[in-house]
Structure 1
Amino acid sequence: MASEKVDLDFEEHRSGAAALSSDSEVDEATSSINEKALLRKLDLKLLPAVTILYLLSFLDRSNVANARLEGLTTDLHMTGNQYLTGLTLYFIGYIPCNIVLKRTTPRLWLPTLTLGWGIVATLMGVTQNLAGFFAVRFFLGMTESGLFPGVVFYLSMWYKRKERQYRIALFFSAASLAGAFGGILAWGIAHMRGVGGLNGWRWIFILEGILTVLVALAAYFFISNYPLTTTWLSDDERSYIHARLKSDSDATNDEKFNWGEVFLAIEDIKCWLYGLAFHTLSLPLYTLSLFLPSIIKAMGFTSAQSQLLTIPPYALATIFTVIWAIVSEKSGRRAPFIISSSSLAIIGYIILLANSSPTKRPGVSYLGTFFAAAGIYPSVALALSWPANNVSGQTKRATANAMQISIGNLGAVLGTQLYRPNTAPRYILGHSFALGYLASNVVVVGTLWFILTRENSKKEKHLEHHPTTGNGEGGEKGDRHPRWRFNV
């Protein structure tokens, strides 16, 4: 029965696309549509739903940092290095799986992922030993792995290319917001120490995991499918969305899975550079989100103070992520904003490394965390949205997104082993790696900027000599078509 339902949705989507292909019908339908009002409607219906899911995802993966301050490692008799191994196992289980989304529907797949990791996250609260901790972290990574690349692909089926980056960046801002929420929630929940005979860290996992499960069950009703099968749009609005996407990208194409498109992505140096752009950011991103409470505590603060002091840097990062997304969208540029934001984070790590005595001058090191957070999160948001704008062909784009996440998370795997207890309070090893990776990010993004600009220039010269080249994406040529322009 489930497969019949998926086939029915697919056939409905395909037949709807065919029915809307008449230019006269589109012209008649779109004459009364206000595009700005329609975009506001899409934003209000789509973005809050997926942003809530991602906020919970980042909260459930990073709350282990808060739980550590409340006795997690002590109760489970873990050494510092064993704790780091548990963090690494999360990324070993992290396997992007957009192909499942293409074979099901967003309303089924995204809430089911959320329900899965919500249950796993809750089980963390009743873990009794090291083996249980390792198992839960591995399966948490596995169940969370499909959300981000799935949502990026999902939004590409609703918005035009120039509109996606801003929406994806807003969606990603939930990551820094989760850090702020995590600090205040952990501070409050830690006061439940002793309730039910459980330590405070267990309640952090149990309550936040149960919250995720409840939201997941509700998500089956508030997550929408694709435009042509959504009930809250009028026929005219569906026609308009189909027409604007058809003229802009491949979102309306009835594209079957094709291994040739997969290999096109693998052979494209730009897809590898998108992956390296995230790789050079994922190490500082995840080391900051997983170790910020410990970094602050090592400055001489108590556990409760450290939980609360994580909030301001994350709040600033959220504001910067939104501002950078808006300015980047208006300018139509990506690379210069990533480079400038990463440079801001570089300043933060220089401050952290330069302070030879964090316990005597905690304010200096704490200032460094503001620069680091305010620089890392905007860069990650822009880097992760780049392939959604620049890769054409649904299968190729899904492959490029998966490559980016997979290559990127290798940086996180390394990062989880760097902030060892014996390197506190200065954490020179971890901070130095983060600084080096951010400097590498500037180089990678600069290289990608050069390559994209050069390819756009080649296409311009081709059109000068062949002005009759067809419009659109050029069918199977996708982003290789002379009229396709890369966002730089």
Structure 2
Amino acid sequence: MTEKRPPSSASHNGGNCTPSPGASTETIDPAEETKLLGKLDLFFVPIIMAVYLSCFLDRSNIGNVKVAGMPEDIHATSQQISTAVSIFYATYVLVEAPWAIALKKITPRILMTALCVVWSLTTIFSGFITSIGGLYAARLVLGSCEGGLFPGLNLYLTMVYKREEQAKRVSYLFVCTALSGAFGGLLAYLILKMDGVGGYAGWRWVYIIEGLFSMLVAVMVWFGLPNDPTQAYFLNERERELMQIRERQRAQYMGEEKFSWEEVRITLRDPKLWFSGLIQFCQDILLYGFSTFLPSIIESMGYNSLQAQYLTIPVYVVGGGSFLALSFASDRLTLRSPFLVFANFFGIVGYALMLSPVSNGVKFFGTFLCAIAAYTGPGMNITWLNVNVAPHHRRAAAIGFQQTMANCAGIVAGQIYRSSPYTLGNAFSLGAIGVAQVMIGVLAMYIRRQTRLKERIAKGELEDTRKVRTGDRELDFGYHL
């Protein structure tokens, strides 16, 4: 049942200001909406999680095969393997903004399925490389495909869910990042036991089997993600009507369908983008360094290569579980920065422990604390940007450019984790958290200042001299702090 709501409410904008005249005043019965959200999650979330899980598996499995004899078989030095880790991001960062902006034009279904198919084939063929040159080529192709996935999935989530529903759903992506580490470590541990089967080394089977898994996921994407979520195949007539109401409620957030270069120019002049990009760069130093080199870090503590694979599993589970819990609280309170700062404090303690002259057991405990910051930080920050930029094409550009800046961290991570006991990498990561904490404070102050400016203009205390007054700059668009 739909009804009219009082014009003083602006809950769909996440703020406390009066909605704009064009905003929808239709509401949905909470019980109906809860049921609808449950159905959306049931059908969309497993597919989105599976595709991101496969993506991160194929990206980070180089860390698993590094300790399983791959460098020796292709006659690669430790420095060359670090270069292979870094070179992935050379193409990755170049394509993120273009893929994000092109998502609606190409359509989500075609774009994400095509990218998934190409990187799956690349992963399978990585199992047959014989030289460092082959590994470099495979990593470059992998980066050019995977660079479009994370911005694309984030934008797809904004096409389905409201602003106050997004942190929980973004958390599912980063839970997959953690699961890929846990699952990847377990899978690698099991697959490596196939060493010699068919005349192939165990590390080659890691690539082949994980690539075949990704190919199955590509089929799921093609059949499971409709281009228009409001007309999804699994919705009945009433549920499609409810989706249309939700779409009208989010009209201010989504904006016009037609692409505009002016929205891109507005994005590039928005301080929120640049502050967020710097924060994300620092947080991704942790994420990429930690997720790629954790088996090597644990091995440097005195464990053998197989132990290093399965000991990563509980660490990744803690990292993913912590973000899941914090994201639920973040959505409920519509607060982002406090949870980001809170999670980073665990990382500061964790890296400090790994750098201290303590027992290996204590250092291993430190990896659990680092995991909380490594997985919560990037996801919470991208959510913070998602909910504070509108309309769609402005947000698409913001996510693309933010990820372009942020993923340069992958190039850095591959160079700072060079050799055991990885003091340089851990120290650099600790410093990155410190810088991130400062930048989070700066961005929070900027958002608070913009909110107060809007309030004063709305009350008539100040003349509105701003050049941009649309999308998230509208007076009734409430920012999330």
TM-score by length of 2: 0.90
Deviation at 1:249, TM superposition (A): 4.2
- Structure 2 counterparts to residues 4-15 of structure 1, below 5 A: none
Amino acid at match of 1:310: T
Contact 2:255 2:390 in 1 (8 A): no
Aligned equivalent of 1:307: 309
**3-state SS of paired residue (1:299):** coil
Within-5 A mapping of 1:346-385: 346-355=348-357, 361-385=359-383
Residue 59 of structure 2 corresponds to residue 61 of structure 1: yes
SS of the equivalent of 2:338 reads: helix
For the 8 Å contact 1:106–1:225, the answer to whether it is kept is yes
Matches within 5 A, 1:82-481: 82-94=80-92, 95-96=95-96, 97-250=99-252, 253-355=255-357, 361-421=359-419, 424-425=420-421, 427-465=422-460, 477-481=470-474
Shift of 1:32: 10
In the TM superposition, what is the alpha-carbon distance from 1:254 to its structure 2 partner?
A: 3.5
Q: Report the AA paired with residue 48 of structure 1.
A: P
Alignment partners' CA distance in 2, 1:416 and 1:22 = 47
Contact 1:355 1:364 in 2 (8 A): no
Aligned-partner Cα distance in 2 for 1:388–1:408: 15
One-letter amino acid matched to 2:374: I
Give the deviation of 1:453 after TM superposition: 1.1
- Per-residue deviation at 1:259? 1.2
Aligned positions, number: 453
Whether contact under 8 Å (2:351, 2:426) holds in the other structure is yes
Structure 1 window deviating more from structure 2 (347-356 vs 238-247): it is 238-247
Going from structure 1 to structure 2, the CA distance change for 1:253 and 1:77 (only over 3 Å counts) comes to: same
Deviation above 6 Å: which 4+ runs of structure 1?
21-24
Specify the code of the residue in structure 1 equivalent to 2:478.
R
Tell me by how many angstroms 1:428 deviates.
1.6
1:438 to partner: Cα distance: 0.6
Query: SS of the counterpart of 1:417?
Result: helix
> Aligned equivalents of 1:172 and 1:373: distance in 2?
11
Amino acid at match of 2:475: P
* Residue 432 (structure 1) shift: 0.8
- Residue 10 of structure 1 corresponds to none
**Partner of 1:8 in structure 2?**
none
Matched-pair contact (CA < 8 Å) for 1:160–1:249:
no
Question: Which protein, 1 or 2, shows the higher relative CO under an 8 Å CA cutoff with sep ≥ 6?
Answer: 2
Partner of 2:15: none
CA contact (8 A) 1:113 1:146 kept: yes
Q: Name the amino acid aligned to 2:37.
A: L
Q: Which moved more, 1:236-245 or 1:287-296?
A: 236-245
Q: Does 1:486 align with 2:468?
A: no
Report the alpha carbon displacement of residue 225 of structure 1 after superposing the two structures with TM: 2.3
Q: Is the 8 A contact 1:271 1:404 kept in 2?
A: yes
Residue by residue over 1:405-432, the C-alpha shift from the partner in whole angstroms, topping out at 9 and shown as x without a partner, is 01101122111101112xx22x221111
2:6 aligned partner:
none
Q: How far apart are 1:236 and its partner, in Å?
A: 3.0
- Structure-2 separation of matches of 1:107 and 1:167: 19
Q: Is the alpha carbon distance of 1:23 and 1:194 closer, same or farther for their aligned partners in structure 2, counting shifts above 3 Å? A: closer
Q: Deviations over 1:214-264 (max 9, x none)?
A: 221232112222234323223332232222232234465433211111010
Which 5+ residue runs of structure 1 have no aligned equivalent? 1-20, 470-474
Task: Note if contact 1:33-1:240 (Cα within 8 Å) is conserved in structure 2.
Answer: no
Deviation of 1:63 (Å): 0.8
Instruction: Name the SS of the counterpart of 2:475 in structure 1.
Output: coil
Deviation by residue 1:183-213 (Cα, 9 ceiling, x = unmatched) = 1001000100000111111000010111111
Aligned-pair Cα RMSD in Å: 2.2
Deviates most, 475-484 or 171-180 = 475-484
For the residues of structure 2 that align with 1:319 and 1:99, how far apart are their CA atoms?
A: 32
Cα contact 1:342–1:438 (8 A) shared by 2: yes
3-state SS of paired residue (2:406): helix
Partner of 1:416, secondary structure, is: helix
Q: Is contact 2:417–2:425 with CA below 8 Å preserved after alignment? A: yes
Task: Give the % identical residues.
Answer: 35
Rounded to whole Å, the distance in 2 between the matches of 1:334 and 1:119 is: 38
> Which residue does the alignment assign to 2:7?
none
Cα distance in 2 between the residues matched to 1:290 and 1:181: 13
8 Å CA contact retained: 1:165, 1:389: no
- Distance in 2, matches of 1:386 and 1:169, equals 12
CA distance in 1, matches of 2:227, 2:261: 25
Distance change (3 Å), C-alpha of 1:62 and 1:479: same
Contact 2:174 2:320 (8 Å CA) reproduced: no
Q: Retained in 1: the 8 A contact 2:116–2:218?
A: yes
1:385 deviates by: 1.4
Q: In 2, are the aligned partners of 1:313 and 1:369 still within 8 Å (CA)? A: yes
Rounded to whole Å, the distance in 1 between the matches of 2:102 and 2:474 is: 28
Asked if structure 1 preserves the Cα contact closer than 8 Å seen for 2:282 and 2:433, the reply is yes
User: Normalising by the residue count of structure 1, what TM-score does the alignment of the two structures yield?
Assistant: 0.89
The separation in 2 between residues aligned to 1:220 and 1:245, in whole angstroms, is 23
